[in-house]
Amino acid sequence: MEPEALIEALLSRDRDTPVDLAALLCDRHPRERVALSVVRPAGPRLDVEDVTYGELADRSRHLAGGLAGLGIGPGDHVATLMGKSAELVVVLLALWRLGAVHIPLFTAFADVAVAARTATARAVVTDADLLPTLDPLRDATGATPWTVVVNGDRTAPDAHHRTATEPGTAAAPGGAPTLRALETRGAGVRPPDSFRWAGDDAFITLYTSGTTGAPKAVPVPARALAAFVSYQHVALDHRAEDVFWNMSDPGWGYGLYQAVIGPLALGRGTLLLAARFDAALTLRVLHELQVTNFAAAPTVYRALRNHDGPRVRPGALRCCSAAGEPLNPDLPRWAEEHLGVTVHDHYGQTELGMVLGTPWRPGRRVEPVPGRMGPALPGWTLAVVDEDTHRPLPAGAVGRLAVDVPRSPLMWFTHYLGGGPRPAGRFSPDGRWFLTGDLASADEQGRFAFAGRDDDVIIMAGYRIGPVDVENVLLEHPAVAEAAVTAVDDALRGEVLEAFVVLAPAAVPGEALAADLRTHVKRRLAAHLYPRVVHFRQSLPSTESGKVKRKELRRERERELGAVPAAP
């Protein structure tokens, strides 16, 4: 089925019309087609493991049988604490064959973050080397609150992890059940019939990153697939012949939605790098594997720009896309010179998928404008609305970025897990607008520019200032590698700006450089928008997905100034 027809079919389905997710994402594709290329650095060479759709289909059916033997079935929540691997994708397909709901966990999570996200889980599947993360969650008897399944040869002692005790559950001797054992067990039994999902059935529960409060559980319904497929096809222009690489981690929305689910739904190949981020390795993979279509957070592009080691210019790139945080205006120009192609900015949220940006698809392509994310993507209508009245604002005005729900056929979010419909603060009272929590402006052509989070906005002498504009100007300075801008109280102006800067390798911190940065902002942006104080730091606090925690920087400064007590 062609992508346009698939999107139309997904959109036209009644919410009660069931869909076999395993068939849609895997079984219907040619068995011999490569679905995943798992890349591992092996000394001077790259080890590439190609996995076909046929292998995914067989292994996930077998694993579904093994998991069913543990009692996993429709409606059960199962978390994965796993790196990028073929096994992760096999687990996801097996869960969806059974009607189980997937809870992604980022591999860098500590035990507290895991506990907060697994309260509803019946089981946790984890890589063997991540078992220590689960150990602090044992109760007084030494058991975990869920069945633990281990991916790898290392097994956990019975005293540490509860295992299923039903006959024939394929528990590894002296330890928790392993994926390998469950697959072997499932291969010898009749596989369960594949579950069929109604459009409103949640097949994922994904937690927000928590940049503006406690992480919230987002139920992702089966009908959200239409949005993921549309973005993969139109904005990323993921073609059958592409070597496609989305670097984002599947523990977060962009990685799960568009590095795994989107490619599988289209029957395309996707590349998974089983290694920690390293700029030199990233350039090597782009070059040696002849990647044609690349997506990553702006943090990745900045790291590539600041890399001071040997540079290998990729030779095959056709598309580069960025998502997850604001794209600095200088990065597209840098990428065009050093990667051979510009970068298109895209914007989305856990609750939405991707909704804004400059698409790559011919016939849909919009020329990017530095500093602007682009227009609404097909299937979405957005506007900048007044904070109080929720009425659309004129071009150029900064206000709340909002999704026009009735005019957005791809809109799928309705509530957080455990809460009622239209959660307070996320929808306008009449239900028309979904409020993203971000500030933006739009030009006459409907191209949006990010201005900051609602709680990041700075009000100085009557001016509403989004920190992103100032940060982007600071990042233009050759001495600056990373920048964040916040505000402190000022008796005269209400608030004044302060900057937190991570320097490029050759830069020397000091008052002379701080003065130069202030002058740079005055000349490039506006005389009143310069940071009164510049703090030089080794790093900036950020979420696991790379978003700077400005609120944490503000609290640090407030504690230094004696405005708030230190955290206990």
What DSSP string describes 203-233? EEEEE---TTSS--EEEEEGGGHHHHHHIII
Mean pLDDT within 353-373: 92
What torsion, rounded to 10 degrees, do the Cα atoms 341, 345, 349, 354 define?
-70
Other beta carbons within 10 Å of 110: 9
Quick check: 18 pLDDT over 60?
A: yes
pLDDT greater at residue 164 or residue 333: 333
Domain spans of the chain, in order of start: 53-196, 203-454, 460-560
Sorted by sequence, the CB contacts under 8 Å of residue 45 that are 6+ apart come out as none
Q: How far apart are CA 34 and CA 437, in angstroms?
A: 39
Mean pLDDT over 475-486 rounds to 93
CA distance to 14, 298, 407, per residue, from 223 (Å): 9, 29, 17
pLDDT of residue 74: 97
CA atoms within 13 A on the CB side of 182: 31
pLDDT band at 536 (very low <50, low <70, confident <90, very high): very high
pLDDT of residue 210: 55
**Residue 185: what pLDDT?**
95
Confidence of residue 467 (pLDDT cuts 50, 70, 90): confident
Higher pLDDT, 424 or 353: 353
Q: Looking at residue 156, what is its pLDDT? A: 41
User: Rounded to two decimals, what is the model's pTM?
Assistant: 0.83
pLDDT exceeds 50 at position 91: yes
**Which pLDDT value is given to residue 165?**
33
CA distance 35 to 43: 25
- Per DSSP (E only), the strands in 208-351 are 217-221, 244-246, 270-273, 293-296, 319-322, 344-349
pLDDT tier at 3 (50, 70, 90 boundaries)?
confident
Q: What is the mean pLDDT of residues 536-553?
A: 84
* pLDDT > 80? residue 277: yes
Range name among 32-46, 199-213, 391-405, 434-448 with the lowest pLDDT average: 199-213
> What are the tokens at 119?
């309260």
The answer to which of 147-156, 225-234, 438-447 has the lowest mean pLDDT is 147-156
Q: Mean of the per-residue pLDDT values for the chain?
A: 88
* Best CA proximity match to 474, nearest among 320, 302, 296, 300: 302
For residue 470, name the pLDDT band (cuts at 50, 70, 90): confident
402 and 433 Cβ atoms separated by less than 8 Å: yes
98 or 457: which leads in pLDDT? 98
The pLDDT of residue 162:
38
Q: How far is residue 87's CA from residue 408's CA, in Å, rounded to a whole number?
A: 35
Sheet holding 147-151, edge to edge: 147-151, 121-127, 77-81, 101-105, 202-207, 217-221
pLDDT (mean) for 75-103: 98
**Fold exhibited by the domain 460-560:** GMP Synthetase; Chain A, domain 3 (3.30.300)
Task: Give whichever of 161-170, 190-199, 224-233 has the largest mean pLDDT.
Answer: 224-233
Q: What per-residue confidence (pLDDT) applies to 409?
A: 96
- C-alpha to C-alpha distance for 492 and 460, rounded to whole angstroms: 9
- Do 53-196 and 203-454 show the same overall fold? yes
Amino acid 211 reads: T
Section 321-339 average pLDDT: 91
Amino acid 174: pLDDT: 42
Place of tokens 């906005």: 457
3-state secondary structure 351-378: CCEEEEECCCCCCCCCCCCCCCCECECC
> Residue 386 pLDDT more than 90?
yes
More confident residue, 309 or 70: 70
pLDDT at 172 exceeding the cut of 70 = no
pLDDT tens digits for 128-139? Answer: 999 999 999 988
| Band (8; pLDDT cuts 50, 70, 90) | confident
Tokens linked to 536: 């030089």
Which residues face 171 on adjacent strands? Answer: none
As a CATH number, domain 203-454 is 3.40.50.12780
464 φ, ψ (degrees, to nearest 5): -95, 120
- What confidence tier does 36 reach under pLDDT thresholds 50, 70, 90? very high
State yes or no: pLDDT of 284 exceeds 60.
yes
Q: Supply φ then ψ for residue 440, to 5 degrees.
A: -155, 170
CATH number of the structural domain 53-196 = 3.40.50.980
Position 166 pLDDT exceeds 70:
no
